[in-house]
Amino acid sequence: MRSRDGNHSFSLRLCSIIFFFIISSAQAEEYYISYRYVVKDAIIYNESLDISPAMFTCNGKTYDPLTLQNNNSKDLSQILLRHSVEFIDYLHKIGLHVDHKEETLNLQNTSTTILTLKTKCFKVHFNDNFVKIAPLK
């Protein structure tokens, strides 16, 4: 847009703001991650980790990031599969919902424990050698 006196300062400022937002959004990708782990009678019954790219930007501040080694890969599910123990320990650290039920019927004791990370948005920064994963508050 051109102002009345003929200079392009407004349009240059607008373009620089748009360029800044494009660059800042390209640095971090956002993913929704959920996790569920079910144990019945001391036997692992089911474990699932769901990862999907965010269709809309997530709001919030990042906290407590996890850094994993990366071999120039952009596939988050493969990276987390390679570092599954570290990532599951990290999920325990940031907080899982625990639901435990135990009952005894005819002298038979049965128990079910379910660990759940409700769907949460994570910002992921990919680098050649490392990937940084941080949840949003």
Query: Tens digits of per-residue pLDDT, 56-67?
Result: 888 889 899 999
Share of the chain above pLDDT 70, in %: 80
- pLDDT in the model for residue 8: 53
How many structural domains comprise the chain? Answer: 1
Domain membership of residue 115 (yes or no) is yes
Beta bridge partners of 37: 47, 115
CA distance 85 to 70: 15
Domain membership of residue 92 (yes or no) is yes
Domain membership of residue 13 (yes or no) is no
Domain membership of residue 113 (yes or no) is yes
Where helices occur in the chain by DSSP H, the ranges are 9-27, 76-82, 84-94
Domain membership of residue 23 (yes or no) is no
